[in-house]
C-alpha cells in the first residue's frame, strides 16, 4: 500500500477518485458530488491510510484543508493526466459539468496556455443537461435522439436560458425533436470549436471530461474541426489521474 498515491477531483457535478499504484491505475471511483462529498471521500480513503493525496477541481481548497492534503488546479492536473496517457497530445479539450477548457501543452507536457469559459454555462455539460431536461429526457436518450438524424434545426442562442426558450418555442411549433436535439449539439460543438481554434496544432488532440462521453458531440466536433479527436477510455478520470501522478 505504501506505493499508492491518490488523486481526487472534486468537480461541480461529479467527484472522481483515482488510486495509482506502482505508476499505473489501480482503482477509480466516480460519484455525484451532491451535498456531502467529503464523507464519501473519507469513506473511500479509509482503505488507504498514509497514502499521499493530491486534490483538484472546484472543491480542492475545501478538500485540501479537511484532509491536510496538497492541491493543484484542474488545469495542471488535466494536462498531467492527458500527457501521461497520450504523450503525443499537445491540445486538450475538457468539457465538464460546469466549465469547459482548452489547454495547450509543450513537448514535456507542461501547460503553455489555456482558456476557460467564464461564469456562463454555454459549451458545458450543464448546458446539455438543461436542454435534455427541456425534452423531459435523461442525457443518454437526448444524445441518442440527436443521433437519429443527419439534419438539424439551428439553435442561435448561446445563453442557456435563452436557448431553453428557443428550444421550447421550436417544440411548440411542432418541429422534429431529433432535429432540435441535433441542433443543440451542433451549437455546443461550434462554441467549443471557437475556443479550440486558437490552440489546434498538427499534433494529437485529446477530448476529456464527462462531455467526451457524448458520442454525438464527439462526432460533430470532429466534423467541425475537420480532424480526428482522441478520446481516452475513461475520459472523466483524466484530471484525477493527473492529480494522483502529482501526489
Partner 1 sequence: MNDYRQLWTELGVNLELHDQLLKSLDQAHHRTHLAQQNRPDTMKIFDEAFHASHAGRVAEILDYRKKGGKSIGTFCIYIPDEIALAAEVIPIPLCGGSGWSVHYADKMFPRDICPLVRSTFGMAFSGTCPYKTIKDFAVGETTCDAKKKAWDLLGFKVMEVPQRKKPIDRQLWLKEVYEFKEMVETLSGVKVSAETLRDKIKLVNAKRRNLQKIDDFRKLANPPISGLDALLVAQVALNQDIRKFIANTADLINELEQRARKNISSYSENGPRILIAGSPSPMGNAKIHAMVEQAGLQIVADESCTGSRYFRELVDETASDLDGMIQAIADRYFNIDCSCFSPNSERLDNIEKIIKDYRIQGVVQNILQYCHTYNIEAKAVENRLKKINIPSLQIETDYSEEDIGQIRTRVEAFAEILRKT
Q: Does 6 bind partner 1 (CB under 8 A)?
A: no
Q: How many residues are there in the chain?
A: 247
The CA-atom distances, in angstroms, between 91 and each of 78, 108, 206, 208 are 11, 13, 6, 11
CB 169 within 8 A of CB 199: no
Q: Which residue in the set 16, 76, 152, 185 belongs to the binding site for partner 1 (CB under 8 A)?
A: 76
CB 6 within 8 A of CB 53: yes
Q: Does 75 bind partner 1 (CB under 8 A)?
A: yes
State the binding string over 82-121 for partner 1 (x if CB under 8 A, else -): -----------------x----------xxxxx-xxxx--
Rounded CA-CA distance 43/61 in Å is 19
Q: Which is nearer to partner 1, 117 or 234 (CB)?
A: 117
Which residue stretch of 31-39, 68-76, 171-179, 205-213 sits at the interface with partner 1 (rule: CB under 8 A)? 68-76
Q: Does 234 bind partner 1 (CB under 8 A)?
A: no
Q: Which residue in the set 15, 37, 58, 237 belongs to the binding site for partner 1 (CB under 8 A)?
A: 58
What is the radius of gyration, based on Cα positions, of the chain? Answer: 19
SS3 111: strand
- Enumerate binding residues for partner 1 (CB under 8 A): 58, 72-76, 99, 110-114, 116-119
Amino acid at each position: 500500500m505504501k506505493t499508492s498515491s491518490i488523486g481526487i477531483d472534486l468537480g461541480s457535478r461529479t467527484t472522481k477518485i483515482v488510486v495509482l499504484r506502482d505508476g499505473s491505475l489501480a482503482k477509480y471511483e466516480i460519484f455525484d458530488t451532491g451535498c456531502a462529498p467529503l464523507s464519501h471521500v473519507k469513506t473511500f480513503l479509509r482503505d488507504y491510510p498514509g497514502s499521499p493525496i493530491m486534490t483538484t477541481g472546484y472543491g480542492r481548497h475545501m478538500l485540501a484543508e479537511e484532509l491536510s492534503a496538497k492541491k493543484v488546479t484542474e488545469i495542471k492536473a488535466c494536462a498531467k493526466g492527458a500527457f501521461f496517457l497520450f504523450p503525443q497530445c499537445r491540445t486538450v479539450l475538457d468539457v465538464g459539468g460546469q466549465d469547459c477548457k482548452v489547454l495547450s501543452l509543450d513537448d514535456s507536457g507542461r501547460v503553455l496556455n489555456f482558456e476557460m469559459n467564464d461564469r456562463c454555462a454555454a459549451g458545458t455539460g450543464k448546458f446539455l443537461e438543461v436542454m435534455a431536461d427541456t425534452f423531459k429526457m435523461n442525457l443518454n436518450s437526448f444524445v441518442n435522439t440527436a443521433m437519429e438524424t443527419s439534419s438539424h434545426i439551428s439553435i442561435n442562442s448561446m445563453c442557456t436560458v435563452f436557448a431553453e426558450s428557443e428550444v421550447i418555442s421550436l417544440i411548440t411549433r411542432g418541429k422534429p425533436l431529433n432535429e432540435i436535439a441535433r441542433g443543440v449539439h451542433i451549437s455546443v460543438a461550434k462554441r467549443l470549436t471557437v475556443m479550440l481554434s486558437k490552440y489546434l496544432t498538427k499534433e494529437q488532440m485529446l477530448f476529456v471530461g464527462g462531455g467526451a462521453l457524448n458520442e454525438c458531440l464527439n462526432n460533430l466536433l470532429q466534423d467541425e474541426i475537420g480532424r480526428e479527436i482522441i478520446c481516452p477510455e475513461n475520459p472523466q478520470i483524466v484530471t484525477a489521474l493527473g492529480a494522483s501522478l502529482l501526489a
